[in-house]
Amino acid sequence: MFEELSLHILDIAMNSLAANASKIEISVLENHQRDWLILRVRDNGRGMDAAALHRVLHHRATTKTLRKKNIGLGVALLRQTSEMCGGHFHIRSAPGQGTSVTASMRLSHIDRPALGDLNSSILAICAANPKVDVRLHYRTDKNQYHFSSHELAPKGESCP
Amino acid sequence: MTIKDLIGCLQAELLTGSADTQVCGCYAGDLLSDVLASAKPDVLWITIQVHRNVVSVASMKDISTVLITRGRKLDSQTIAEAEQSGVTVLSTPLSSYEAAGKLWETGLR
């Protein structure tokens, strides 16, 4: 549980970068009619096998090395947030198939953190590796907004 | 200070770990990312959270003891994880505010 959901998104997307993804798709679905907020981060990185997935889901997390203590709490914290707010949490992943993390929560749940500064999170992800195509799909009941860092870049170049 | 000097004033129950566990300070907080950022090693951590992430955070930050307030209890799997990680866990019927007040009175700073 981070203070803002945008920090969770940043955290999960950093895992995608660490998994050498060249494309990260972030979806935020705000469905007021059905009272759901659904976050999804999907990448085309190296993916995880069953054992790694088990570690991630059972707190014996990280594939990152050279840390004094295993961190790998990011996924566990997002899972806690979504379950605490009446939602569900799923990860789909397989080696070579990328990873998809989905966290839902009740939009109106009193403990649901605010979405926070999503712009800064997206900017940080783009800046962390400008070669990666970072996409954002933001949908509400009435509107939608789509962003792709590669569309911003001059033709043949990556986003500055 | 050891846990056994504190159990009485907190009316606490020892869920796992040793009453001889040493604590050298206190931290109160329910937002796990804040605790990750700010808690010092070997403190007693006051929280109302009972999710298993509490044990992961305590273990990562070398927090020696977790005090769960308002009479909440950890489930048996989480207690087993705490035991494995060497984290002492207490439960008190007091609120976090009352517990912090009692601990302050004992001289734990």
* CATH number reported for the structural domain that contains residue A107 in this entry: 3.30.565.10
Whether B87 contacts B59, CB under 8 Å: yes
pLDDT of residue B96: 98
User: Does residue A159 fall inside a structural domain?
Assistant: no
Dump the DSSP string for B19-50.
Answer: TT-B---EEE-S-HHHHHHHPPTT-EEEES--
User: Does residue A157 fall inside a structural domain?
Assistant: no
Domain map (residue ranges) of chain B: 4-105
Contacts of A110 in chain B (CB under 8 A): none
Please tell me which of the candidates A2, A59, A69 has its beta carbon nearest to residue B33: A2
Cβ B31–A71 below 8 Å, yes or no? no
Q: What are phi and psi of A15, to 5 degrees?
A: -65, -40
Which two three-digit tokens encode residue A138? 């933001």
Predicted TM-score (pTM) of the model is 0.86
CA–chain centroid gap for B30, Å, is 12
Please tell me which of the candidates A3, A69, A80 has its beta carbon nearest to residue B51: A80
pLDDT of residue A68: 46
- Which candidate, A87, A82, A108, A112, places its Cα nearest to that of A3? A112
Give dist(CA A116, CA A90) in Å, integer.
Answer: 22
Helix-helix angle A74-84:B53-60, to 10 degrees: 150
**CATH 3.40.1390.20 fits domain B4-105:** yes
Please tell me which of the candidates B31, B51, B60 has its beta carbon nearest to residue A69: B60
User: Does residue A83 fall inside a structural domain?
Assistant: yes
- The number of distinct structural domains making up chain A is 1
Which two three-digit tokens encode residue A114? 């605010």
Per-residue model confidence as pLDDT tens for chain B (109 residues): 999 999 999 999 999 999 999 999 999 999 999 999 999 999 999 999 999 899 999 999 999 999 999 999 999 999 999 999 999 999 999 999 999 999 999 999 8
User: Does residue A158 fall inside a structural domain?
Assistant: no
